[in-house]
Amino acid sequence: MKKLITLLMVSAMVVLALAGCAAKGNENKVDYIIATDTVFKPFEYTNEAGEFVGIDVDLLAAIAADQGFTYELRSLGWDAAIAACQAGQAHGMIAGASIKQERIDSGWIFSDGYFNATQCMTVAADSDIDSFDDLNGKMVAVKTGTAGADYAVSLQEQYGFEINYFEDSPTMYQAVLGGQAVACFEDTPIMAASIKSGDLALKIVEGSENEGAPYGFAVFSADNQALIDKFNAGLANIKANGTYDKIIAKYLG
């Protein structure tokens, strides 16, 4: 009998514990899981106070508040963010993703553009490279799967340089600073912000920018079209009420 009573008591405790966990899980439940990059300053990065901040971070927060949805933002890295969305582990991603036809053709579903960005060539601050012609026979660095990488590839045959691919921006920058590459191709606002803040001893080569393309929020399943619709509506509203301009000014001046 004692064993039976003890067993019943333990069973009751387990049920209560599970119920407590379920209740806690329900309290913390969010409408959407959103994936992003780890470092793409000033769009997403960790500041000196250890806070994850940036244009993408603030825009998403403002749009969610405007549209009344909750979310969890997961800083996974570029490739991991894409993989999470494709696997259904995240509903969407915001990571400075350029709206490109080849991405749309491969299954990306984009929002309206929320920031127009060009790409540029960047070299070490003391480099004597000042044009694409100076790249002949040399190595340049790019980040896998980005508009900067596409820009470099479009110039490679004409200017005769080699390309080394990296998984993240900081490693790509270090390749240039460490002499493993003479230049890298990156989104202009990213480079301008990092150089301005004194984080990187690099410089943008004058006249190296392309025409650019807008960044978009993305989902990878038509089942998440409602999230795109909310993003677009919220973006339009925060542009109309001045919140958008304040966020851009906060990070880009």
Sheet holding 109-110, edge to edge: 71-75, 32-36, 92-93, 218-219, 109-110
Which residue in 17, 223, 79, 253 sits closest to 9, CA to CA? 17
pLDDT of residue 200: 86
How many residues does the structure list for the chain?
A: 253
Q: What ranges in the chain are assigned the alpha helix state H?
A: 2-28, 55-67, 78-86, 101-105, 147-159, 169-177, 188-196, 225-240, 243-252
pLDDT of residue 10: 36
The domain segmentation of the chain, as residue ranges, is 30-116+214-252, 119-210
CA angle (150, 154, 158) in 5-degree steps: 150
Contacts 24+ apart (CB under 8 A), 6-12: none
Domains 30-116+214-252 and 119-210 share a fold: yes
The CA distance from 89 to 98, in Å, is 22
Q: CATH number of 119-210: 2.60.200.20, 3.40.190.10, 3.40.930.10, 1.10.490.10? A: 3.40.190.10
Which residue in 241, 249, 233, 240 sits closest to 112, CA to CA? 233
Q: Tell me which fold the domain 30-116+214-252 belongs to.
A: D-Maltodextrin-Binding Protein; domain 2 (3.40.190)
HEC profile for 83-119?
Answer: HHHHCCCCCEECCCCECCHHHHHCCCEECCCCEEECE
pLDDT of residue 231: 99
pLDDT of residue 39: 87
pLDDT averaged over consecutive 10-residue blocks of the chain (253 residues)?
Answer: 38 38 53 95 93 98 99 96 97 96 96 96 97 98 94 98 94 96 95 82 96 95 98 99 96 85
CA angle (36, 39, 154) in 5-degree steps: 90
